Amino acid sequence: MTLTVYNTLSRRQEPFETVEPGKVKMYYCGVTVYDYCHLGHARACIVWDVVRRYLQFIGYEVRYVQNFTDVDDKILNRARQEHSTMETIADRFIKAYFEDMARLNVKEASEYPRATHTMNGITRLIHELENKGYAYPSNGDVYYAVRQFPEYGKLSGRKLEDSQAGAGGRVDLEDPEYQKKKDPSDFALWKAAKPDEPAWESPWGKGRPGWHIECSAMVRDRLGETIDIHAGGSDLVFPHHENEIAQSEAVTGKPLSRYWMHNGMVKVDGEKMSKSLGNFTTIRDLLDRGVDPMAVRLFVLMAQYRTPIDFTDEAIQGATNGWNTLKEGLLFGYQYGEKLGWGQGGLLGGLGDNSFSPSPLPPLSPLPTPHSPLPEIIERFQEAVNNDFNFPGGLIVLFELAKELRREGNIFVHEGKTEISPLELFKQWQTLVTLARVLGLEAEMKVERSVSDNLSDAEIEAKIQERQDARIAKNFVLSDRIRDELLQCGITLIDSREGTRWHRN
């Protein structure tokens, strides 16, 4: 069973083979920090988080580097608007980035280099390009001469003539940058300082780096000359990644990355969700409206990572419903484990605890342990995901497990016993928890069970009425939230045509 990966460079799905066996070096072009992250960023960060988690799950050691672009015109504009500095703006939104990603359960990268901390690497690279005849200075700027790099266009499939024709329609002959270039397709590696702008010393005078060169320098500094996966959104294929290849490969003579992987865009009414376009919903706005962070993860993972997805209320609602199903399965052990006798007979011995307790969760490991995960189900999951990270295919396996556990939970509540043996249920639950963690999906039993005793029958009935009103008003986010809150207090609701029944767990 081998992993195959769609490589934008070859336009094919290829078997995954790393430079160094068992190790993956991965770089993701991260955010330009001048605003809060939106759902497009959430998608990119979740997709690469899960790719990384999956690679670890199948046994790779992964070094994952993600940059912050902290020098850019847009950051500078915001700093001017707020009478602040570029550094203050960048620091504020980097802090916000970490807060948002923690809520979404995105694991921290191995390293987060910043452009402004990589100035030596950047100027060194430009210098080498100049020495090799790929770059030329012009009035304090430095440009990359694309005609010197015969392979220019190999990633995006664009021919220089096409992009020139495109540029020809758009160039402004008065634009000072255009006048400094030898060829309209050339791009800036270094820009001379303008008055009142932050600037760094360089052999070409004071200035700041262009956007593309920072990634070439950071990859080289942190990961080396050839990495395994270079990732980013599909909007970066041209010109950003094309230019990164031109810069890095001209200097090293080696491929910059074995695999080029791109996530599809989150769109709104058919257009890319983007800070520049202003059509975005921030992660924090959505979560503060009560959408579960795990539903956001599911919204992302329910689509193949390369296809575009539309952000709509219905899509988020669908993901929320999906999450509620998975969550019921994930909480099964916490709700019924003790009653099913899982603490007895050493069932949980492998977890270092002889009595049932919600923690620790089963270890993240693909290897069968004495009580664990059902190998044939893990295999089905891997078979799906090995096909170019087909997470929706993997999710089918999780939903099957969750639905079965939910069904058994209901049977247990009504009949006092289950159809499937407790041992088998334990294994199913372990498998579900293990696979869900590979996708970063985790549910917590936040409230102790005794809390259910604190809610009176009248209070529970009032909550159910509130939920009913929300459903009539089609406010399903609220109605689901009430149901989840009750579940966390140890109260299960059962909907039927006659109305809603409830019981304490």
Ligand X SMILES: Nc1ncnc2c1ncn2[C@@H]1O[C@H](COP(=O)(O)OP(=O)(O)OP(=O)(O)O)[C@@H](O)[C@H]1O
Q: Which residues of the shown chain bind Zn ion in the complex (CB under 5 A)?
A: 29, 215
Kindly report each contact of residues 6-15 with a partner whose C-beta sits within 8 Å and lies 24 or more positions away, as own/partner: 6/261, 6/306, 6/388, 7/258, 7/259, 7/260, 7/261, 8/155, 8/237, 8/260, 8/261, 8/262, 9/154, 9/155, 9/257, 9/259, 9/260, 11/157, 13/387, 13/388, 14/259
Instruction: Tell me the backbone φ, ψ of residue 293, rounded to 5 degrees.
Output: -55, -35
Q: Is 236 in the site for ligand X (CB under 6 A)?
A: yes
Residue type at position 131: N
Burial-class residue 68 by CB neighbours within 10 Å (0-12, 13-18, 19+): buried
Rounded distance between C-alpha atoms, residue 315 and residue 268, angstroms: 12
Q: Which stretch binds ligand X (CB under 6 A): 174-182, 267-275, 327-335, 389-397?
A: 267-275
Binding status of residue 310 toward ligand X by CB under 6 A? no
62 contacts ligand X (rule: CB under 6 A): no
Q: Rounded to the nearest whole angstrom, what is the least distance from the CB of residue 110 to ligand X in the complex?
A: 18
Backbone angles phi, psi at 383, to 5 degrees: -60, -40
Q: Tell me whether residue 99 is annotated as binding.
A: no
Q: Which of 56, 58, 74, 238 binds ligand X (CB under 6 A)?
A: 74
Residue 240, annotated ligand binder?
yes
438 is a site residue for ligand X (CB under 6 A): no
> Shortest Cβ distance from residue 32 to ligand X (Å)?
4
Stretch that binds ligand X, among 103-111, 140-148, 228-236, 479-487 (CB under 6 A): 228-236
Q: Residue 255, preceding bond cis, omega within 30 degrees?
A: no
Closest CA to 101 of 28, 42, 40, 31: 42
Partner from Zn ion, ligand X, none contacting 215, C-beta within 5 to 8 A by type:
Zn ion
Q: What would the two tokens of residue 341 be?
A: 């006798």
Q: How far is the CB of 45 from ligand X (least distance, A)?
A: 8
Q: Is residue 371 marked as binding?
A: no
Q: Which is nearer to Zn ion, 94 or 361 (CB)?
A: 94
45 is an annotated ligand-binding site residue = no
- Candidate ranges 40-48, 216-224, 396-404, 424-432; the one touching ligand X (CB under 6 A): 40-48
Q: How far is the CB of 41 from ligand X (least distance, A)?
A: 5
Residue with tokens 């230019």: 243
Q: How far is the CB of 176 from ligand X (least distance, A)?
A: 23
Beta carbon of residue 232, minimum distance to Zn ion (angstroms, whole number): 6
The nearer residue to ligand X, 33 or 401, going by C-beta atoms, is: 33
User: Could you say whether residue 29 binds ligand X (CB under 6 A)?
Assistant: yes
Least distance from ligand X to the Cβ atom of residue 240, Å: 8
Taking a C-beta distance cutoff of 8 angstroms, is the pair 66, 28 a contact? yes
Binding ligand X (rule: CB under 6 A), the pick from 5, 9, 24, 31 is: 31
- Measured from the CB atom, the residue of 235 and 442 that comes closer to Zn ion is 235
How far does Cα 500 stand from its chain's mean position? Answer: 37
Which listed residue (235, 310, 383, 442) binds ligand X by CB under 6 A?
235
Amino acid, res. 335: Q
Q: In sequence order, which residues have a C-beta less than 8 Å from that of residue 262 and are 6 or more positions away?
A: 8, 231, 232, 233, 234, 236, 237, 306
Residue 115, beta-bridge partner list: none
- The listed partner (Zn ion, ligand X, none) that binds 181, CB under 5 to 8 Å by sort, is none
SS3 (DSSP) at 493? strand
Segment contacting ligand X by CB under 6 A, of 37-45, 370-378, 460-468, 491-499: 37-45
40 in contact with ligand X (CB under 6 A) = yes
Q: What is the DSSP string of 155-197?
A: TT---HHHHHHHHHHH--TT-HHHHH-SSTT-EEEEEEPPTTS
Q: Which does 274 bind (CB under 5 to 8 A by kind): ligand X, Zn ion, none?
A: ligand X
29 is in an annotated binding site: yes
Residue closest to ligand X, measured at CB:
233
Minimum CB distance to Zn ion, residue 189 (Å): 14
Closest separation in Å from C-beta 181 to ligand X: 22
> How many chain residues are in contact with ligand X, going by CB under 6 A?
21
- Spatial distance between the Cα atoms of 424 and 427, rounded to a whole number of angstroms: 5
Query: Is the separation of the CB atoms in 405 and 429 below 8 Å?
Result: yes
Number of H helices, E strands in the chain: 17, 15
Report whether 146 contacts 187 (CB < 8 A).
yes
As annotated, the binding site for ATP includes: 275
As annotated, the binding site for Zn(2+) includes: 29, 215, 240, 244
Residues in the site for ligand X, rule: CB under 6 A? 29-32, 40-41, 43-44, 74, 232-233, 235-236, 263, 265-266, 272-276
